[in-house]
Amino acid sequence: MPGLEDLYREIILDHYRSPRNRGELPPPAVRTEGHNPLCGDEIQVYLSVDSGLVSDVKISGQGCSISQSSASMMSAAVKGKPIAEVRSIVRRFKSMMTLEEEETAEADDQNVKLGDLEALQGVVKFPVRIKCATLAWNTLLQGLDEATA
Ligand code: ZN
């Protein structure tokens, strides 16, 4: 019987080998980029917002398996969702990725299902990799702020 850690490793490798929503979007889609110099990870997030929804999202960039699979999972988790729900998912994910108790999570966030994203929770045991896992999410937040400014 494979353990939970093996299952999580499989999910991460699957997203690394077959990244979802890979590519670019033309303007007026918002483009933001993030770097994690500690590991050499680079992520570009292309974001289209329409009628209060994240109508499309594309990811490009390169880096380690954690950074790229996290970006792929993020794109699948937020595409087609209302902006408020996307912000909720981001808060839940970032609170999963911190060792301290976060006071920033709001009550509604508890209802958000992270699904495959839970595969990344083991990363929190390796603090140097947390920045790899959260890079795409911080880049997405920048894009959301720009798109909704
Ligand atoms: Zn990395």
Q: 51 C-alpha vs ligand 1 centroid, how far in Å?
A: 34
Mean pLDDT of the chain: 91
- CA of 90 from ligand 1 middle (Å) equals 19
Ligand 1 centre from 52 Cα, in Å? 32
What's the gap in Å between 84 CA and the centre of ligand 1?
A: 28
Q: CA 144, CA 149: separation in Å to the nearest integer?
A: 8
User: Is residue 24 within 8 Å of residue 60, measured between CB atoms?
Assistant: yes
pLDDT digits (tens, 9 = 90+) for 6-61: 888 999 999 999 999 999 999 999 999 999 999 999 999 999 999 999 999 999 99
Question: pLDDT tens-digit profile of 78-87?
Answer: 999 999 999 9
Whole-number Å distance, alpha carbon 82 to ligand 1 midpoint, is 29
Band of residue 89 on the pLDDT scale cut at 50, 70, 90: very high
Distance 129 CA to ligand 1 centre (A): 6
pLDDT in tens, 66-76: 999 999 999 99
At residue 106, the pLDDT reads 65
Alpha-carbon distance of 140 to 74, in angstroms, equals 9
Question: Is residue 107 scored above 90 in pLDDT?
Answer: no
The pTM for the full model equals 0.91
Domains annotated on the chain, with CATH: 2-147 (3.90.1010.10)
Q: pLDDT band for 108, please (50, 70, 90 cuts).
A: low
**Structural tokens at position 52:** 């209060």
